[in-house]
Chain A
């Protein structure tokens, strides 16, 4: 158990819909990362937050947005869903911003868009 929790575990929805994925980081971790894992793209970094502020963006679509709340939990919002958005979405947390910090991954949310 990494200490990072993600809800829900599975999500099945239809094209055009909007969903929210939730992540609670390990106690004491200020940095939260979101990743998308799919068979064709591998593990792709989406976005990072540190203590409530956005710090870095990766390959995140404009239809996707995220935020980190004062209690440090984070939400990833996916809208106007397409079939290609079906993937595993991981949240990870780390203590800070340093490059040598280990990331602790949650169990993931499996999103299926029908």
Chain B
């Protein structure tokens, strides 16, 4: 079964600073990878996804992620943090099981943005 590791349960940045949220997965073949964001008291919503079309994936709200097969990583970045980016971020990988694709989610990283 797949596993997803998100390094750091909390990441704190200043407004305007670079955001880097780390995600590593375990897979012998390139999987489908996703980043979701969860704002307080809401469900998750998709930020971006990797489907093998391009290694650098651009998502909503200025976020992007780079797929690095050699490092089995899919880190999420944003050049300049905004206060509204404060939320919980989840990395997920889709695993093929019994004819269906089931996503495995990381434990999440809480992004804190200081003014």
Binding site for B on A (CB under 8 A): 2, 4, 42-43, 45, 48, 50, 55-56, 58, 90, 92, 97-108
Contact = CB atoms under 8 A, between A and B. Distances in A.
Chain A CB within 10 A, most for which of B49, B96, B100 = B100
B60 to A, nearest CB: 12
A42 B108 contact: yes
Contact of B42 (A48, A50, A98, A107): A107
Interface of B: prevailing SS: strand
B45 interface: yes
Contact of B96 (A45, A48, A99): A99
Contact of A45 (B36, B41, B99, B102): B102
B105 A43 contact: yes
Interface residues of B, number: 27
Between A99, A101, A107, the greatest number of chain B beta carbons within 10 A of the residue's beta carbon is seen for A99
Contacts of A90: 43-44
B107 interface: yes
Interface string B49-61: 1010000000000
A106 B38 CA distance: 11
A97 to B, nearest CB: 5
Contacts of A97: 99-101
A90 B103 CA distance: 14
B42 A58 contact: no
A45 B104 contact: yes
B18 interface: no
Given A2-B43, A100-B32, A105-B44, A42 B105 contact: yes
A58 B97 CA distance: 10
A103 B46 CA distance: 8
A45 B101 CA distance: 12
Contact of B43 (A98, A99, A102, A105): A105
